[in-house]
């Protein structure tokens, strides 16, 4: 009897030790995903039920099924992050986003591969220990975690709405449910709930193009030459001093007149901003490969093209990004200039995003504006894209940030500010070209900047971007 008791005691101790080893590996795995979420600025459950289920299924002997669930859980973590950061509202959009992996820098792809390899090692190690744990201990632990989450959630009265909870209260839950909650929330933000059978919905707030040229274009009285720029990640600061520091060189230029600064309601990925400005609509799905003018309607470049304008688009990245090679002609661009046709050397590529840096495109933009009597030139900028790489800044100045930000600002925020100052300095040089006299210029942000820390986010409005409009003398 004593021997049996000692044997049972040893078995329980061994089970608990194995469970402790499993829990440490599992917690390390979850901390990896938690770090990613903090770095990119979105929320998730500290303990994902999908990841936990993968371990439990494997521990009960279904190794292949556990592995499949594990990789699906990782995929859904990525979906949760993308839908939170980019305000995605339809799962078909992830097909388009997934294509970016072919354009990413090898260093980024390598980092993802190392992350996944480390995650697999932790998963295999966790399964090794978990299979030594008694099933009763496993079930008890799961029940404890579920009740722990319920206790936190119901205490605040929002168990069904994890997106509204503080990160510290998101203990245990489903990433699938969380991402679905985010997607539905985004649909409400875009006012798409009542448009399930419509592919393109008119925007609820006037775009920069509408505010400046909308009626003019429809009445065929637009200026003969327009440079329309969507500036990547150019956000509306809460403090106007920050905005003035970025565009001050333009506002003080003697080469321009009729300066106007305004605001546009904006959320979502860059492609949504393009549709917002060029067409006055938002796609309910990001199925960019099958866009037709019949469904989209006539966009502004198409209208201008019918009025005799030479319509040109410029972007420093590849045309396959967001399938722009396919839908730019539908929008109405007669000439498209992407990375693959730009006569720029490889050493001029930027670091933040694969493509050519904006500062190398000003000269070409000026030449294109001077290539015909009536020109609409659309330029989508590139290298002010997250992660706001300092290597894309020709002349980094810490003083620019010291003048407008409080002490303790992050490097990413300072890089971001320098990048936009640098762009407007380049634009200020461009407008001094005498042959560009009379050209109307518009610069508008695509979406608020993305930061991983709340301090940096706090400097900007999260649903607005600025626009700048002026005429070259």
Q: Are residues 339 and 375 in the same domain?
A: yes
Mean pLDDT to the nearest integer, 230-245: 96
Give φ, ψ of 388 to 5 degrees. 55, 65
Report the SS3 class of residue 439: coil
DSSP string, 91-146: TTHHHHHHGGGGTS-HHHHHHHHHHHHHHHHHHHHHHHHHTTS-HHHHHHHHHHHH
Does one domain contain both 255 and 352? yes
Higher pLDDT, 237 or 93: 237
Do 219 and 155 lie in one domain? The reply is: no
User: What's the pLDDT at 168?
Assistant: 74
Other Cβ atoms less than 10 A from the Cβ of 85: the count is: 18
Closest CA to 329 of 291, 284, 356: 291
Contact 446, 233 (CB under 8 A): yes
Structural domain harbouring 72: 2-189
Region class of 463: left (phi > 0), else alpha (psi between -120 and 50), else beta: alpha
Residue 402 confidence (pLDDT) above 60: yes
Write b or e for each residue in 389-421: b if 16 or more Cβ atoms lie within 10 A of its Cβ, otherwise e.
beebbeeeeeebbeebbeeebbebbbbbbbbbb
Name the residue with tokens 């294509």: 99
Domain stop point among 159, 189, 219: 189
Question: Residue 328 is part of a domain; what is its CATH number?
Answer: 3.40.720.10
How confident is the model over 189-229, as pLDDT tens digits?
A: 665 544 455 578 888 889 999 999 988 777 778 899 999 99
Q: What residues form DSSP beta bridges with 375? A: 225, 310
| Same-domain check for residues 336 and 453 | yes
Q: What distances in angstroms separate CA 60 from CA 15, 24, 64, 143, 412, one per listed residue?
A: 15, 20, 11, 17, 46
- Percent residues over pLDDT 90 in the chain: 44
Q: Is residue 406 part of a domain?
A: yes
Domain presence at residue 195: no
Last residue of some domain: 189, 218, 249? 189
Is residue 236 within 8 A of residue 448, CB to CB? The reply is yes
Residue 156 scores a pLDDT above 70? no
Both 243 and 357 in one domain: the answer is yes
Domain count, the chain: 2
Q: Would you say 141 and 59 are in contact if contact means Cβ atoms under 8 Å apart? A: no
Beta strand ranges found along 367-463 (DSSP E): 375-380, 440-445
Over range 353-368, report the average pLDDT: 91
Would you say residue 194 lies in a domain? no
Element (H, E) at 2: helix 2-40
The answer on pLDDT for 314 being more than 60 is: yes
DSSP string, 11-38: HHHHHHHHHHHHHHHHHHHHHHHHHHHH
Instruction: Determine the 3-state secondary structure of 252 from DSSP.
Output: coil
Rounded to the nearest 5 percent, the helix, strand and coil shares of the chain are 55, 15, 30
The whole-number pLDDT of residue 100 equals 63
Distance CA 383, CA 404 (A): 22
Question: How far is Cα 114 from Cα 120, in angstroms, rounded to an integer?
Answer: 10
Same domain, 431 and 302: yes
Q: pTM for this structure?
A: 0.79
CA nearest 328: which of 306, 304, 312?
312
Q: What's the pLDDT score for residue 442?
A: 97
Evaluate whether residue 251 is within a structural domain: yes
CA distance 359 to 348: 9
CB-based contact 297:312 (threshold 8 Å) = no
- What are the E-state strand segments in 181-237? 200-202, 225-231
Take residue 190 and report the two structure tokens written for it.
């875009």
pLDDT at 235: 95
Tokens for 249? Answer: 């060189």
Q: Are residues 410 and 262 in the same domain?
A: yes
Average pLDDT, the chain: 85
- Clarify whether residues 366 and 240 are in a common domain: yes
Residue 293: pLDDT band with limits 50, 70, 90? confident
- 169-181 average pLDDT score: 82
For residues 5-13, average pLDDT = 64
For residues 209 and 277, is the Cβ–Cβ distance under 8 A? yes
Shared-domain flag, residues 233 and 348: yes
Mean pLDDT of the 431-459 span? 92
- Give the span between the Cα atoms of 182 and 42, in whole angstroms: 11
Tokens of 187: 């649909």
- Cβ 326 vs Cβ 289: under 8 Å: yes
d(CA 75, CA 225): 46
pLDDT greater than 90 at residue 299? yes
């Amino acid at each position: 009897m004593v021997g049996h008791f000692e044997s049972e005691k040893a078995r329980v101790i061994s089970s608990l030790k194995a469970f402790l080893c499993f829990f440490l590996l599992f917690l390390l795995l979850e901390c990896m995903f938690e770090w990613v979420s903090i770095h990119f600025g979105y929320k998730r459950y500290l303990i994902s039920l999908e990841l936990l289920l993968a371990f439990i299924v494997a521990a009960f002997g279904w190794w292949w099924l556990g592995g499949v669930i594990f990789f699906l859980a990782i995929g859904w973590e990525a979906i949760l992050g993308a839908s939170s950061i980019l305000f995605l509202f339809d799962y078909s959009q992830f097909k388009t986003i997934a294509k970016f992996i072919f354009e990413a820098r090898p260093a980024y792809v390598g980092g993802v591969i190392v992350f996944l390899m480390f995650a697999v090692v932790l998963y295999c190690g966790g399964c090794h220990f978990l299979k030594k744990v008694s099933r009763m201990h496993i079930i008890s632990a799961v029940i404890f975690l579920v009740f722990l989450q319920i206790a936190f959630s119901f205490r605040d009265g929002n168990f069904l709405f994890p997106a509204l909870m503080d990160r510290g209260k998101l203990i245990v839950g489903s990433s699938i449910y969380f991402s679905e909650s985010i997607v539905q929330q985004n649909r409400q933000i875009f006012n798409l709930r009542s448009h399930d059978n419509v592919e393109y919905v008119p925007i609820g707030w006037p775009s920069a193009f509408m505010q400046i040229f909308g009626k003019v274009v429809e009445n065929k009285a637009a200026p003969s030459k327009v440079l329309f720029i969507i500036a990547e990640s150019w956000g509306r600061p809460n403090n106007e001093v920050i905005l003035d520091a970025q565009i001050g060189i333009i506002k003080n230029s003697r080469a321009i007149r009729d300066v106007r600064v305004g605001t546009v309601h904006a959320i979502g990925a860059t492609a949504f901003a393009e549709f917002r400005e060029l067409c006055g609509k938002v796609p309910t799905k990001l199925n960019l490969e099958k866009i037709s003018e019949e469904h989209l309607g006539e966009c502004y470049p198409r209208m201008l093209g019918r009025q005799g304008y030479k319509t040109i688009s410029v972007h420093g990245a590849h045309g396959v990004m967001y399938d722009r090679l396919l839908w730019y002609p539908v929008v109405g661009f007669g000439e498209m200039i992407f990375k693959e046709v730009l006569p720029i050397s490889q050493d001029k590529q930027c670091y933040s995003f694969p493509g050519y840096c904006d500062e190398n495109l000003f000269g070409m933009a000026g030449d294109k504006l001077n290539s015909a009597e009536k020109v609409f030139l659309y330029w989508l900028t590139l290298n002010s894209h997250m992660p706001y790489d300092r290597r894309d800044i020709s002349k980094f100045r810490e003083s620019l940030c010291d003048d407008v930000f409080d002490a303790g600002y992050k490097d990413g925020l300072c890089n971001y500010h320098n990048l936009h100052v640098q762009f407007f300095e380049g634009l200020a040089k461009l407008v001094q070209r005498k042959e560009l006299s009379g050209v109307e210029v518009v610069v508008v942000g695509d979406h608020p900047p993305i930061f991983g820390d709340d301090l940096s986010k706090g400097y900007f409005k999260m649903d607005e971007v600025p626009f700048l409009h002026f005429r070259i003398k």
